[in-house]
Structure 1
Amino acid sequence: MAVAGKRGPSPEVVGPRAVLLLCVLSLLLIGLVMVYSAGSIDDVKAGHSVVRSIQSQALYAGVGVVCAAVVWRFIPVSAWTGPLVWAVWGVAVVMLGLTAVIGTEIYGARRWLGITETIGIQPSEFAKIALLLMAVRILCLLREGSLEPRAAVVQAIVLVMMPLGFLYVTQSDLGTTLICFVGIYAVMWVGGVPGRLMGAIAVAGVALAAFAVFGTGYRSGRMVYLDPWNDGEGGYGDGFNIIRSYYALAEGGLLGVGLGNSREKFGYLFASDSDFIFAIIGEELGMVGALVVIGLFVAFLVAGLRIAQGAPDDLGRMVAGGCTIMLVAQAFLNIGCTIGVLPTTGKPLPFISSGGSSILATMIMVGLILSVSRAQDAPTVYEQRRADLRVVRAERPAPPERPSSRAPRR
């Protein structure tokens, strides 16, 4: 009896997955090194151990790897159209509400929810995942015919747009709002939403972003990145940090001043271990090091989109494509702010910047992408049917002995 065996991973799955994992590992290691280099100065100034920052970052990175592995190996991508997505969405919305009521205010914004006196989380980092998955669920059910178009529009407004608007209003977080919009827009693009509707949504998004920037005084002040030396205070006002970022990148040159030898991290460049860590990379590792980081994010984008392209269904394509584009969009938003081509938004560089919530949310999205690649390992419905066939090979009976033509002797 011959039985068909389980199909192993194809090269189309193994290649992008290996590239993705290599990029993630490389970016995490770069992040640990650079957080130690940039954060050790602030630790010493605050009277802490010189390894305090890297210990914290390594702990969060380790927990993040475990979270990614759990999502990858134990949560099938098909679960994100069922009750699980409602549970994730509900927890995220509750955390956003608690942050608005009892959140901790830092630098004039209430975006953190304290757990202990020294430990807190930033719920908006996890809300990005919840809103993206809810958008995937709505569009997937619409494409399957399980949801009427009118009901889909109502759910999209109530379950996605309203929580996103609440996040923007209560936390004054335009950067996270834009990143969420890009991720949801990517889901619609991958999900095959008509181009005319996509164009209308893009125009509306640009108009709302422009209103949010120019309709608020402190945000419109960030447009000084176009000429930071002309900030009204001789370069010591809103343009100060971007000027220090320019100095760091210029000082680094081609090969950098050497690992650990940055000058700007000594109290000149604000948030040198988080929002502006790319400037420290450019200063210490030079243009070569900065281009390596950019190249790793580009490779991550290509690998993630290859995984999305090879997904067995629309659900997998939207999850992998949305998560990939959201992560890389945040990376290039951070880099764009650092090099002065975008206004400062205060968003961390994924995998690299210090911050527990950021790295945990980032690794969960990596786990979601990998769960789609795992679904590609499973046999298709036709291969499963073929595997269920049982072919029995029977021995052919020997032909009967033919009687002799000779007459028997007497």
Structure 2
Amino acid sequence: MTQVARPPRSEPGGSRGLAARVSLGRIFTPPSSEFVLIASTALLLTIFGLVMVLSATSATASGQFDTALKQGVFALLGVPMMFLVSRMSVAFLKRLAWPALILAVVFQLLVFTPLGVEDAGNRNWIDLGFSSVQPSEFMKLALALWVAYVLLRKQARLGIWHHVFIPVIPVAVLAIGTVIAGNDLGTAMILVLVLLGCLFFSGVKLRLFILPMIVGTGAVLAYAFSSEDRLRRITATCSDMSLYYGDCYQSIHGIWGMASGGIFGLGLGNSQEKYGWLPAAANDFIFAIVGEELGLIGCLVVLALFTFFAVGAFHIIRKTDDPFIRVAAGGITVWLIGQALINVGVVIGIFPVLGVPLPFMSQGGTALLSVLLACGVLLAFARTIPQAERGKVAR
């Protein structure tokens, strides 16, 4: 009988060494250009925002370091969390979609308990003792992940209207309704933008996309005009100086701040509007302080950073083959860029005052934390881009 030659046995140590080398290779794989672009612009905008919050609150001795310190603490928490979330797998983010939305809605409902705090007619805050938190900020990210996950499971049926609308529209209306119940029109508008952005990038047929867009726009307008006080503030013509001490006081001073800055600005820390003239100078009107102190050049730098951020995010949407990544990244991008454009439009007088903060830069620890977490999700998606490109090359 002839003996059959056996292949040489591989030593256990050799297989372990190969696995270790593969793991190290994955760790030290250079990040994609999208990852670098999104991470760098997010960090620059956050640092820029901390500087401007410190400058905008320096007019009062009591709030000079206290407010900026709180914002800095949230930044120190949010930046590591952003990179921690960036290490999460896409599969884990998919499993997180339902729990995240449920927790976000429950968290938002706490504003209607004794923990809730009302500010300027909006009941959208809860008091935790050491800080106030705005739960609706976390709902933006949760809604984007949830819609992306639901539409992923219906990918082959997006041409049928009831598969597109159910359960997306009823659940989204319920979630947004908890925000509207607190009279926060600005945040409700951003949540509608997130929903429409997810539907647009999911590949839903245009005729099916137009209907929710019309319904969403109509619902926002109906709510905006349902109150006489709200209608008066929205339709106020701020070119009429007779409304200076009324509904246009904040808008007029925001425009004056931008105008007085000129091209080069008055210099960092030299704003005049922050000395009690411009309400919410460190919050919704932080862009006016940028224009006054750093001029047109400073405003263009901020807009350029948001443009680079959008380029990196849209590259992820364009290059990925995963429908979940495309839809979730689309919703997050529409949220951040759309909110930035609305905030700038309010400051320069295109839109009425809506109470929408400037992402990364406005004072507000909850808003900053939610935005950095959303950036972490985008970075997690960006890590899949080199793999997707290698797959395309191989095919």
TM-score range, shorter chain: 0.7 to 0.9
2:110 is the alignment partner of 1:101: no
In structure 2, relative to structure 1, the CA distance for the partners of 1:149 and 1:200 (3 Å cut) is closer
Shift of the alpha carbon at 1:158?
3.5
Alignment coverage as a number of residue pairs: 374
Aligned positions of 1:18-57 closer than 5 A? 18-42=36-60, 44=61, 47=62, 50-57=64-71
Aligned positions of 1:59-98 closer than 5 A? 59-73=73-87, 75-82=88-95, 84-98=96-110
Q: Which of residues 226, 230, 234 is equivalent to 1:215?
A: 226
Counterpart AA for 1:180: L
Counterpart AA for 1:288: I
2:67 is the alignment partner of 1:58: no
Q: What do residues 227-246 of structure 1 show as CA deviations (whole Å, max 9, x unaligned)?
A: 3535xx54100000101011
Kindly indicate whether the alpha-carbon contact (under 8 Å) linking 2:32 and 2:383 is maintained by their aligned counterparts in 1. no
Q: Name the counterpart of 2:258.
A: 249
Aligned positions of 1:226-245 closer than 5 A? 226-230=237-241, 234-245=243-254
Shift of the alpha carbon at 1:108?
2.0
Kindly indicate whether the alpha-carbon contact (under 8 Å) linking 2:127 and 2:133 is maintained by their aligned counterparts in 1. yes
Gaps of 5+ in 1: 387-410
Q: Secondary structure at 1:41's aligned position in 2?
A: coil
Q: What do residues 304-354 of structure 1 show as CA deviations (whole Å, max 9, x unaligned)?
A: 110221223111111222111210111111110000001111111100011
Q: What do residues 231-277 of structure 1 show as CA deviations (whole Å, max 9, x unaligned)?
A: xx541000001010111011001110110000000000000001100
Counterpart AA for 1:115: L
Question: Structure 1 CA distance, aligned partners of 2:165 and 2:100?
Answer: 21
Alignment RMSD (CA, Å): 2.8
Kindly indicate whether the alpha-carbon contact (under 8 Å) linking 2:97 and 2:146 is maintained by their aligned counterparts in 1. yes
In structure 2, relative to structure 1, the CA distance for the partners of 1:17 and 1:81 (3 Å cut) is closer
Q: Which of residues 192, 195, 210 is equivalent to 1:199?
A: 210
Q: Give the TM-score, by structure 1 length.
A: 0.84
Question: Structure 2 CA distance, aligned partners of 1:201 and 1:254?
Answer: 42
Q: Secondary structure at 1:105's aligned position in 2?
A: strand
In structure 2, relative to structure 1, the CA distance for the partners of 1:191 and 1:241 (3 Å cut) is same
In structure 2, relative to structure 1, the CA distance for the partners of 1:357 and 1:66 (3 Å cut) is same
2:35 is the alignment partner of 1:17: yes
Q: Name the counterpart of 1:398.
A: none
Identical positions, percent:
32
Question: Structure 2 CA distance, aligned partners of 1:111 and 1:347?
Answer: 13
Q: What do residues 364-404 of structure 1 show as CA deviations (whole Å, max 9, x unaligned)?
A: 10001001011224478969x99xxxxxxxxxxxxxxxxxx
Q: Name the counterpart of 1:390.
A: none
Q: Secondary structure at 2:268's aligned position in 1?
A: coil
Q: Secondary structure at 1:113's aligned position in 2?
A: strand
Question: Structure 1 CA distance, aligned partners of 2:214 and 2:164?
Answer: 21
Q: Secondary structure at 1:110's aligned position in 2?
A: strand
2:341 is the alignment partner of 1:321: no
Kindly indicate whether the alpha-carbon contact (under 8 Å) linking 2:35 and 2:383 is maintained by their aligned counterparts in 1. no
Q: Which of residues 292, 296, 299 is equivalent to 2:305?
A: 296
Kindly indicate whether the alpha-carbon contact (under 8 Å) linking 1:31 and 1:352 is maintained by their aligned counterparts in 2. yes
Q: Which of residues 269, 282, 299 is equivalent to 1:273?
A: 282
Q: Secondary structure at 2:306's aligned position in 1?
A: helix
Most deviating of 177-186 and 212-221: 212-221
Aligned positions of 1:178-197 closer than 5 A? 178-197=189-208
Which structure has the greater CA radius of gyration? 1
Q: What do residues 199-243 of structure 1 show as CA deviations (whole Å, max 9, x unaligned)?
A: 22222222222222222222212234543535xx54100000101
Q: Secondary structure at 2:278's aligned position in 1?
A: coil
Q: Name the counterpart of 1:351.
A: 360
Q: Secondary structure at 2:118's aligned position in 1?
A: strand
Question: Structure 2 CA distance, aligned partners of 1:274 and 1:111?
Answer: 15
Kindly indicate whether the alpha-carbon contact (under 8 Å) linking 1:311 and 1:376 is maintained by their aligned counterparts in 2. yes
Kindly indicate whether the alpha-carbon contact (under 8 Å) linking 2:143 and 2:194 is maintained by their aligned counterparts in 1. no
2:136 is the alignment partner of 1:124: yes
In structure 2, relative to structure 1, the CA distance for the partners of 1:68 and 1:185 (3 Å cut) is same
Counterpart AA for 1:94: V
Kindly indicate whether the alpha-carbon contact (under 8 Å) linking 2:32 and 2:385 is maintained by their aligned counterparts in 1. no
2:180 is the alignment partner of 1:162: no
Q: Name the counterpart of 1:110.
A: 123
Q: Give the TM-score, by structure 2 length.
A: 0.87
Q: Name the counterpart of 2:271.
A: 262
